[in-house]
């Protein structure tokens, strides 16, 4: 499975390590992904999602079903 958030679409970014001598080598910035189970009240079942911690905060604020609907419309979540 790729390191991509299913809600926000955050993925691995690429940048440079820069040394004191200004040497540049490639490095990766990984999103803070967590595998988390959520309970969908409308269907009465549990759903396991791979989400960034910022997406967990969004789900807590806006609710799971509204967030899932937006992610599906945006195309980051596939059913």
Domains of the chain and any CATH numbers? 13-74 (2.30.170.40)
Please identify every stretch of the chain with a pLDDT value under 70, giving residue numbers as ranges: 1, 79
DSSP element (H, E) containing 70: helix 64-74
Helical (H) or strand (E) element with 15: strand 13-18
Find out whether 30 and 12 touch, Cβ atoms under 8 Å.
yes
Spatial distance between the Cα atoms of 72 and 5, rounded to a whole number of angstroms: 13
């Amino acid at each position: 499975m790729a390191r991509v958030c299913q809600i926000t679409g955050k993925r691995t970014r690429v940048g440079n390590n820069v040394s004191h001598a200004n040497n540049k080598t490639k490095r990766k910035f990984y999103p803070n992904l967590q595998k988390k189970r959520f309970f969908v009240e409308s269907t009465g079942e549990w759903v396991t999602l791979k989400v960034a911690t910022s997406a967990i905060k969004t789900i807590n604020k806006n609710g799971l079903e509204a967030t899932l609907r937006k992610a599906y419309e945006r195309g980051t979540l596939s059913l």
